């Protein structure tokens, strides 16, 4: 088993190195900082983009408190507590870091927007490994995954500056840290048997994050569609904040799964049930039961 784990890590690292070799660098576009809604209210620059981060801080603090308040979430594994603690710290820090960035959008401040997000992304990956693959491997992976997230930010903005007074200005490692969990987590939620009930909350969280990314990409278009009432980026913050909301609800409602069946298998079982027309699916074949009166003759 240990050899298999080493092979998996080796393949992952090899794939990443090949990706870095064969793909061009992705510099940070300065147009990214030019958000559609730049209105100022109550003396706060870019007001709606700033205050729309407040839900992250609220749900992050609530989740962090509930992690330790009389074991409200009923964690049965130490690694779970550590993983979810890091996740909620990251979520709360997003509320602070993203607000700080949107007060005066620039590359230097963007670091403090993205760094907390990498903490949340990588923590979730470790949690999934704990719950769906192996407790020990998942717990051990928390620190390496967190470091990978931090390094992806340092690679983009800081590391080369320290060495040579220059920046790499390359977002590829950050893109991997951000988007790999977006693909892997829904797949794992569907394919791997869960330790707990209410696994569909993972899919709701993934759907809202996908919607948030669409709103981010259509920032100016949405601002125009809403007649300059709200921008896509503001809506992106609100939708993205629904991710920790759904996960917090999941933690509060779930119980230990006695019959560990993947969502995919559960759906397959549902498809085999008798439908209203008397059609049943068994072993991948359709068995048709005729209920027409003329068949009885």
- For 138-163, the pLDDT digits (tens) are 898 899 889 988 888 877 665 444 44
- Residue whose C-alpha is closest to residue 194's, from 263, 127, 269: 263
What are the pLDDT digits (tens) for 222-260? 999 999 999 999 999 999 999 999 999 999 999 988 888
With bands split at pLDDT 50, 70 and 90, how would you rate the model's confidence at 48? Answer: very high
The pLDDT assigned to 163 comes to: 42
**Quick count: other Cβ atoms within 10 Å of Cβ 176?**
17
Distance CA 285, CA 24 (A): 49
Smallest Cα–Cα separation from 91: which of 50, 134, 121? 121
Span of 106-110, 124-128, 231-235, 279-283 with lowest mean pLDDT: 279-283
Of 292, 164, 195, 216, nearest to 32 (Cα)?
A: 216
Closest by alpha carbon to 147, among 122, 178, 120, 184? Answer: 122
State pTM to two decimals. Answer: 0.82
Q: Is 58 in contact with 66 (CB distance < 8 Å)? A: no
| Closest among 69, 55, 93 to 243, alpha carbons compared | 55
Residue 77 main-chain phi, psi, to 5 deg:
-125, 140
């Amino acid at each position: 088993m240990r050899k298999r784990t080493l092979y998996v890590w080796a393949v992952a690292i090899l794939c990443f190195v090949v990706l870095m070799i064969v793909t061009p660098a992705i510099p940070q576009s300065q147009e990214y900082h030019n958000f559609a809604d730049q209105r100022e209210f109550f003396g706060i620059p870019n007001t709606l983009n700033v205050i729309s981060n407040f839900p992250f801080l609220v749900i992050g603090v609530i989740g962090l408190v509930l992690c330790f308040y009389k074991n409200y979430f009923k964690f049965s594994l130490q690694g779970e507590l550590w993983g979810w603690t890091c996740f909620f710290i990251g979520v709360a820090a997003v509320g602070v870091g993203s607000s700080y960035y949107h007060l005066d959008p620039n590359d230097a401040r963007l670091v403090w927007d993205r760094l907390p997000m990498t903490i949340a992304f990588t923590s979730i990956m470790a949690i999934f490994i704990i719950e769906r693959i192996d407790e020990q491997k998942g717990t051990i992976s928390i620190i390496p995954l967190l470091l990978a997230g931090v390094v992806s930010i340092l690679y983009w903005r800081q590391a080369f500056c320290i060495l040579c007074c220059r920046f790499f200005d390359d977002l590829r490692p950050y893109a991997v840290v951000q988007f790999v969990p977006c693909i892997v987590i829904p797949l794992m939620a569907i394919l791997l048997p869960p330790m707990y009930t209410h696994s569909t909350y993972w899919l709701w969280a993934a759907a809202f994050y996908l919607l948030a990314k669409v709103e981010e990409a259509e920032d100016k278009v949405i601002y125009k569609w809403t007649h300059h009432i709200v921008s896509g980026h503001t809506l992106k913050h609100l939708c993205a904040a629904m991710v920790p909301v759904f996960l917090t609800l999941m933690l509060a409602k779930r119980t230990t799964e006695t019959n560990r069946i993947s969502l995919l298998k559960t759906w397959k079982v549902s498809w085999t049930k008798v439908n209203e027309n008397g059609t049943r699916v068994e072993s991948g074949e359709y068995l048709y039961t005729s209920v027409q009166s003329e068949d009885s003759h």
